[in-house]
Structure 1
Amino acid sequence: MDYYVAFYRGHGTMADKVVRYATRSPFSHCELILSDKRPRIGDTVRCISASARDNGVRIKDITLKHGKWKIYAVPWAPPETWDRAEALVGKPYELWAMILSQLVNFRRHARNQWYCSEMIAHSLGLSMPHAKSPGDLLRSIHDHCQTWARARNSVAQLRPVAGDDDDLVVDCADDEEMNPTFG
């Protein structure tokens, strides 16, 4: 079984637009996937995340729709990642702390409340999970992938395993989502 993180960039709701603007990222949400095969656009996958729509941390089957998701492999994820995430199921969602953490450098975790990228960063064992927006999480995954690859004496390229259009294989150094700009 392998770990993946799916990043949402669909139009979504007004909350999605606020998150993208506040975090200066094309992504407004993310989901942790544990799968025995590489997820592809069109697949329905079992995900775990914190969601405002679902009022907190939950496990849910999601169909990865064309034009809405980019999925990245996380080969360095600790084996206990899913168990850490699953232990948070039922905890409430924490939207405003995530937005404040990006706008005014509010870097505190609200006890027992989680937002998507914070919950996934915590589950992956990353430092300062309470300070991670979806875009920050992708950059952290990229950095850890580079370190992991160097440790394994291999070429470090974080590539989405699925995404829209023809960008199924994108080197993060050239991926506009790694360094988004807003006008």
Structure 2
Amino acid sequence: MVRLATCSRYSHVELVVLPPNARGEHYCLSASWRDNGVRGRWIELHPDHWTVLELDADAWAVAGFIAARAGASYDFWGAVLSFVQSVRLGQQDRWFCSEIIAAALGMPTPWRYSPGRLYRALARKKGRVWPTARSTRMPACGPCTKAARPERS
């Protein structure tokens, strides 16, 4: 639904904060409809489902912004309206995935960012596509799609 409404291959965004554990899962932060709001969880970043950008940002400060809001509710209407609104219509104490990551990165009007729009904005800022899950460099943001292949650099 998100991909169709935004004409993008991306439907979700996560902030990757820790390198992989023994099972190959990375600890990620985001806001999720499935998980009822802002949360952290271990996720396997399978290359067929994820494109990961490495950003020039203070990953711990960005992660701290999101972690401080853990437990906040998911902003369903804000997510639905993120690609058509010119003013914030969602609730201030609720978040959707691309909004909380854009806010954590200090981007203006974070509620305007769908996952695809956030990916494009970060890629223009010289975000580097993270080539494999075995990279030793910590990625900062990973838009997700289940239907498309990751972009190759």
- TM over 0.5, shorter chain: yes
| CA RMSD across the alignment | 2.7
SS of 2:128's equivalent in the other structure is coil
Fraction of identical pairs, as percent: 33
1:33 aligns with 2:3: no
SS of 1:54's equivalent in the other structure is coil
1:20 aligns with 2:3: yes
8 A Cα contact 2:48 2:150, kept in partner:
no
**Which residues of 2 match residues 54-69 of structure 1 at below 5 A?**
54-69=35-50
1:45 and 1:29 map into 2 onto residues whose CA distance is 16
Instruction: Decide whether aligned partners of structure 1 residues 132 and 77 sit closer, same or farther in structure 2, where only a CA change above 3 A counts.
Output: farther
Q: Which has the higher contact order (CA 8 A, sep 6+)?
A: 2
Unaligned 5+ segments in structure 1 are 1-17, 146-156, 171-183
2:102 and 2:93 map into 1 onto residues whose CA distance is 15
User: 2:82 matched to which residue of 1?
Assistant: 101
8 A Cα contact 1:23 1:99, kept in partner:
no
User: 1:160 matched to which residue of 2?
Assistant: 130
SS of 2:91's equivalent in the other structure is coil
Structure 1 stretch displaced more, 26-35 or 75-84: 75-84
User: 2:108 matched to which residue of 1?
Assistant: 127
2:75 and 2:81 map into 1 onto residues whose CA distance is 11
1:45 aligns with 2:15: no
Work out which of the two has the higher radius of gyration on C-alpha atoms and give 1 or 2: 1
Kindly state the Cα deviation for residue 106 of structure 1 after the two structures are TM-superposed: 5.0
Kindly state the Cα deviation for residue 55 of structure 1 after the two structures are TM-superposed: 0.3
Structure in which a larger fraction of residues adopt helix? 1
| Deviation sequence 1:8-53 (CA, Å, 0-9, x none) | xxxxxxxxxx111111110100100123x5x6xx830000000000
Instruction: Decide whether aligned partners of structure 1 residues 168 and 96 sit closer, same or farther in structure 2, where only a CA change above 3 A counts.
Output: closer
Count of matched residue pairs: 137
Unaligned 5+ segments in structure 2 are 134-148
